[in-house]
Chain A
Amino acid sequence: MKNLRTSAICSLLFASAVFAKPDSKTIFPVKIDPAVVDDLPYRYNGVVLTQDARGSGFCAWNQRTFFTAAHVVYGELGWGTAPIWNPTANSTVLDPSREIQSRGYYRFNSYAEIVDAQGSPAAFGKDVVLAFAFKDLIPGPPADLNFTGGTDLRGSGSKLITGYPAIEAYTNTETDGYFMHQTGPFNIPFSPHSDGSLIALAVTTGPGNSGGPVWTKNAGKGWSVGGILVGGLPSETVVYTISRDLDALTRSVQPVLLKETPFPVHGVSFSNLFFPYTQSQTIPDGTENWSNFLVGVRGFGEGALITSVKLSLTIKTTHVGDLQVYLIGPGGYTALIHNEEGAGDNDLILRNMDLTASFVGIDPYGKWAVRVRDRLKGDIATLVSYRLEVAAGTSAVPVP
C-alpha cells in the first residue's frame, strides 16, 4: 500500500487545499535519521493500514493499544476490517512479517456530535480511536499521555509531530515508501479551533501523517503525547487534544485487554481513602421524606478522578423491605443501593459493595450522602454506620 488510497484523509487534510508556494517560515516534515528510529519518542510510532487508507498511529496507554485518527480507520462504508499496525517502519516497502493485525478499535463519539459535525469542523473534536491487539505492539512500555495536552500545546513549549506522511502537504510531492518523518521541534503555540481541537499555522505535515502523535515536552520530563494529528491544510495543522475525555474511551477498551499485560499506565498515580460515618441514627418511620447521612470527601491530589467506589453499610431493622437506599455523589451522581427488596428480613448489611460503575471518572471532592427512607410504618430502622472507600488518581482508568 505504497500509494495513498482514496480515503477520508484527503477530505480532512485537503478539504480546500490550494498548494501555495513554500514559505520559509513554514515548518516541514523531514525524514528522521534512521539511527534514531528505536529511540524516544520515535519508537512509539507505527504505520496504520486499512483496506482503503494508510495513516499513522502511536502506541500509548497500554502496550497493546494504539491511537490513531478515526478518519483513518472508519471509512465511508462504516465498520470494516480492523486496522493493521506496523511498528517503527522506516523503509521503501513494509515488512509483512512485522505487521500486527489489531482485533478492533473503539471510537469516541456522541449522538449530538454527529448532528453538530455534519458539514462543520466540529468533527475534528472527536476524530480519535483507540485500537487494541492481543499482542504487544512495541517492545517496552507505551508512550506517556499528557492529560494537560490542550494547555501545553497552547503554550510556547517545545512540540514535535512524528508519523508517516505520504504526501508533503505544502508542495504536494509524494514521499517514497514508509519513512518516519518529524515536523519540528517547534515552539509555535496552537490556538483553539473547534470543539476542543487546536490549530497551528506555519506548521505542515501531510496525508498519511493523520493519527500521528503531537508531542509536548515539559521541564524535567521527556516527550509525552499532547495531541493527535487529525487534519490541516498546507501550512496548517489541526490537532485533537489529549484530555480526560479519553478516560471514557480507555475504560471501554479495558475489558478487552489481556489481564497479564505487563506495563502499567504511565504518568498516573492513584490513592485510596476511607470515609466512615459512625453516628448511629434512627431513620424516620413511615414517611415519604428522605434522610441524608453526609460525609465530606477530600484528600486526593489535584485533578484526581474516581477510579473506584465501595460502600460498606449497616442498617438495623426488622423489616428490610421497608427501606430504599441511594448513594449520592457530589454534583448529583447517584447509585441505587436497595429498593424495598427482602420483605421481612432483618438488617441491611453491605460489605464493600462495588459502586464504581456509577461514579468512575468524576471529581470525588465534596459531600457524599447515603440517602435512606422508610415509607412503611411499624418497623423502626437505624443506620448504625457506613464506610465509603474511594480511590482516585490522575486518570480514571487504572492499570489494565
Chain B
Amino acid sequence: MKVPSSLWSWALLAAAIFIAARYLSSSGPAVQKSEPSRVPLDGNFVSPARSEQPSLATRTAGKMIEADLKELLLWLITEPKPSQDEIHARLLATRSTWSEMDPNLLAQTIGRLLESGRDGATGMKFKVGPHGLLDGWPSLRVFLLDALAAADPETSAAVAKELLDHTTSPDEYAVALRALTREGPGEAGEGELLDRFRFLLGKQEWQASGGFAETLDLARTIGTTDAAGQLLRWDGNPALKSMALHEFAAEHPVEMLESLRSEATVDPVLRAHLMARLEPENPDQLAAINQYLHDPERTPEDASVFLKSFPLRSATTGHRLYAASPAPYQLEKIAAGDRAALTLVNEWIASPPLPGIQPELSALQNRLTQWVEQTQ
C-alpha cells in the first residue's frame, strides 16, 4: 500500500516534535516532579539540584523573591495607598509563598536584600502572632526578617548575626534575635543570648518601640538566673519589667528565687509578688517562703501584699516572639502547692503571731481551705 508523501511529512514532523520534547524535558534540572497518582491532593517532591551550583530554577526563584519585594516597595507608595488590611493580607500571602521555596535560597536572598538597604514603611504596628511569627510588620525589612522563619536555620542565623551587629532598628533587632533562639541548627548559646540581651536593655532610645518590648520575652526563653538578674537590674518601663519578670518566675521559679536572693534592691511589692509565685510543694522553695515571711526586715505592708496573692497562679499570656505562649500552671501542681501552702499557713497561725498580718493570714487560710477541698 502506498502512503501519500504528505502523510510521511506529517509523521516525520510529529516524530521530530516528540524527540525534541523528550530532549528538552530531560536536559533541564529535575527540580520538581509531577504528583504521582497515588499521592492524595497535591502532594509532590521538590529535591535540591544534584550539584551545589544554583540551578536555573533556583536562580529563577531568587529573582522571584527579589521581584516580589520590588513590587511590594512600589505598591506601598502607589496612590491610592493600600489599606492596612490589604497590606496585612498581601504580606501574609507573600510569606506563605516564600515558605514553600528552597530554604537555603530563601535565606541567602533575604540576606542579600537586607544588605541592599532597601526598605519601605507599612504603617503597621509591630505585632507578634501565633508561634512567634509576626502579624504586624512596621517595615519591609522587618517583614524580610520574619520570613527567615521558614528559611535554612543556619544561614538564617548567619544573616541575623550580621544584622544584629549593625542595625539601628529595635524592631529589626527583635526579629533577627528570633533566628538565634529557635531550637535546632542555628540556635545560639546562652552566653551569646545574654550578651545580646544586655546590649538591648542598655539601649534607652529603643524603649518606646514595640519590637524592643517584645524582646523582653528573651529572659524567659533563656531561663537562667543570669537572665533574671539582668531583668531585675533593668531600670526601664516598670509595666514591661513586671510582666517579663512574672512570666519568667511562673516558668522558672527556682532561677527567679536564686536571682532574688542576690539582688538586694528589688522593689518590695515586686519582690512580694514574685515570691508568691514560688512552689510550696517544693521543700526548698517552701523553706524560702517561710524565711521570707519571717525575715525581721519584712514590713507588715510587704507581708500583706505577699499573703494576698500567695500562691499566685494568675498569669499573663498571649503570643510571644521567642518562646511558646505562656501556660505555666497545671491543675495537679496547683493542687499540690495549695495543700503544702495550707499546712504552712496553719503552722504560721499556730506559732507565735506574726505581727500585723493576722487578718491576711486568716483570709489566706480560708481561701486555701476552699481550694484544697475543691480539688480533693
Q: Which residues from chain A sit less than 8 Å from chain B, CB to CB? A: 51, 77-82, 101, 103-112, 114-116, 118, 133-135, 248-249, 251-259, 275-279, 281, 284, 287-298, 324, 326, 328, 330-334, 336, 339, 357-362, 366-367, 369, 371
- Is there contact, CB below 8 Å, between A114 and B213? yes
Q: Which 9 A-B pairs have the closest CB atoms?
A: A289-B48, A112-B210, A332-B150, A134-B374, A332-B99, A111-B213, A296-B41, A296-B42, A104-B314
Proximity string of chain B (337-376) to chain A, C-beta cutoff 8 Å, 1 when within and 0 when not: 0000000000000000000000000010001001100110
A322 to B331 alpha-carbon distance, docked (Å): 40
Which of B100, B126, B325, B374 contacts A292 (CB under 8 A)? Answer: B100
A133 to B363 alpha-carbon distance, docked (Å): 17
A397 to B319 alpha-carbon distance, docked (Å): 15
A359 to B152 alpha-carbon distance, docked (Å): 19
Query: Which residues of chain B come closer than 8 Å to A289, judged between CB atoms?
Result: 48-49, 52, 102, 104
A77 to B269 alpha-carbon distance, docked (Å): 8
Query: Which residues of chain B come closer than 8 Å to A293, judged between CB atoms?
Result: 43, 45-46
A255 to B47 alpha-carbon distance, docked (Å): 41
Residue B334 is within 8 A (CB to CB) of chain A in the complex: yes
Can you list 19 A-B pairs with a CB-CB distance of less than 8 A? A78-B273, A105-B314, A106-B315, A115-B208, A115-B213, A116-B210, A251-B325, A256-B330, A256-B334, A284-B50, A289-B52, A291-B46, A293-B43, A294-B42, A294-B46, A295-B39, A295-B43, A336-B182, A361-B131
A112-B213, A330-B99, A369-B100 known; A252-B315 Cβ under 8 A: yes
Question: Among residues 102 to 121 in chain B, which have CB atoms less than 8 Å away from a CB atom of chain A?
Answer: 102-104
B329 CB to closest chain A CB, in angstroms?
A: 5
- Is there contact, CB below 8 Å, between A115 and B210? yes
Query: Which residues of chain B come closer than 8 Å to A296, judged between CB atoms?
Result: 41-43
A277-B39, A290-B104, A294-B44 known; A111-B214 Cβ under 8 A: yes
Residue B196 is within 8 A (CB to CB) of chain A in the complex: no
- Is there contact, CB below 8 Å, between A331 and B92? yes
A175 to B307 alpha-carbon distance, docked (Å): 33
Query: Which residues of chain B come closer than 8 Å to A106, judged between CB atoms?
Result: 314-317
Query: Which residues of chain A come closer than 8 Å to B41, judged between CB atoms?
Result: 275, 295-298
- Is there contact, CB below 8 Å, between B324 and A357? yes
| B38, B208, B315 — most chain A CB neighbours (10 Å) | B315
A309 CB to closest chain B CB, in angstroms?
A: 12
Which of A112, A275, A278 contacts B127 (CB under 8 A)? Answer: A112
A210 CB to closest chain B CB, in angstroms?
A: 18
A252 to B313 alpha-carbon distance, docked (Å): 12
Proximity string of chain B (25-58) to chain A, C-beta cutoff 8 Å, 1 when within and 0 when not: 0000000000010111111111111101000000
A366 to B97 alpha-carbon distance, docked (Å): 10
- Is there contact, CB below 8 Å, between A82 and B314? yes
- Is there contact, CB below 8 Å, between B371 and A134? yes
- Is there contact, CB below 8 Å, between B45 and A255? no
Query: Which residues of chain A come closer than 8 Å to B36, judged between CB atoms?
Result: 279
A237 to B45 alpha-carbon distance, docked (Å): 55
A193 CB to closest chain B CB, in angstroms?
A: 15
- Is there contact, CB below 8 Å, between B39 and A278? yes
A362 to B92 alpha-carbon distance, docked (Å): 12
Residue B305 is within 8 A (CB to CB) of chain A in the complex: yes
- Is there contact, CB below 8 Å, between B45 and A291? yes
Query: Which residues of chain B come closer than 8 Å to A324, judged between CB atoms?
Result: 184-185
Query: Which residues of chain A come closer than 8 Å to B309, judged between CB atoms?
Result: 79-81
Residue B300 is within 8 A (CB to CB) of chain A in the complex: no
Proximity string of chain B (299-335) to chain A, C-beta cutoff 8 Å, 1 when within and 0 when not: 0000001001100111111111000111101110010
Query: Which residues of chain A come closer than 8 Å to B207, judged between CB atoms?
Result: 115
Query: Which residues of chain A come closer than 8 Å to B314, judged between CB atoms?
Result: 79, 82, 104-107
Residue B123 is within 8 A (CB to CB) of chain A in the complex: no
Query: Which residues of chain A come closer than 8 Å to B43, judged between CB atoms?
Result: 275, 277, 279, 293-296
A295 to B211 alpha-carbon distance, docked (Å): 34
Across the two chains, which residue of chain B brings its CB closest to A100? Answer: B370
A185 CB to closest chain B CB, in angstroms?
A: 30
- Is there contact, CB below 8 Å, between B334 and A332? no
A358-B131, A371-B103 known; A292-B45 Cβ under 8 A: yes
A328 to B210 alpha-carbon distance, docked (Å): 27
A195 CB to closest chain B CB, in angstroms?
A: 9
- Is there contact, CB below 8 Å, between A331 and B96? yes
- Besides A79-B273, A80-B308, A371-B103, 14 more A-B contacts (Cβ < 8 Å) are A78-B242, A79-B312, A104-B329, A106-B315, A110-B127, A114-B239, A115-B213, A134-B375, A135-B374, A248-B325, A279-B38, A291-B46, A296-B43, A334-B150
A279-B39, A287-B52 known; A101-B242 Cβ under 8 A: no
B307 CB to closest chain A CB, in angstroms?
A: 9
- Is there contact, CB below 8 Å, between A294 and B315? no
Which of B212, B217, B319, B371 contacts A248 (CB under 8 A)? Answer: B319
Query: Which residues of chain B come closer than 8 Å to A101, judged between CB atoms?
Result: 367, 370-371
- Is there contact, CB below 8 Å, between A339 and B184? yes
- Is there contact, CB below 8 Å, between A114 and B240? yes
- Is there contact, CB below 8 Å, between B95 and A256? no
A77-B305, A81-B309 known; A336-B184 Cβ under 8 A: yes
- Is there contact, CB below 8 Å, between A112 and B128? yes
Proximity string of chain B (47-79) to chain A, C-beta cutoff 8 Å, 1 when within and 0 when not: 111101000000000000000000000000000
Which of B44, B210, B308, B334 contacts A81 (CB under 8 A)? Answer: B308
Residue B276 is within 8 A (CB to CB) of chain A in the complex: yes
A251 to B327 alpha-carbon distance, docked (Å): 8
Residue B130 is within 8 A (CB to CB) of chain A in the complex: yes
Query: Which residues of chain B come closer than 8 Å to A79, judged between CB atoms?
Result: 246, 273, 276, 309, 312, 314
A275 to B47 alpha-carbon distance, docked (Å): 20
| A82, A112, A134 — most chain B CB neighbours (10 Å) | A112
Residue B177 is within 8 A (CB to CB) of chain A in the complex: no
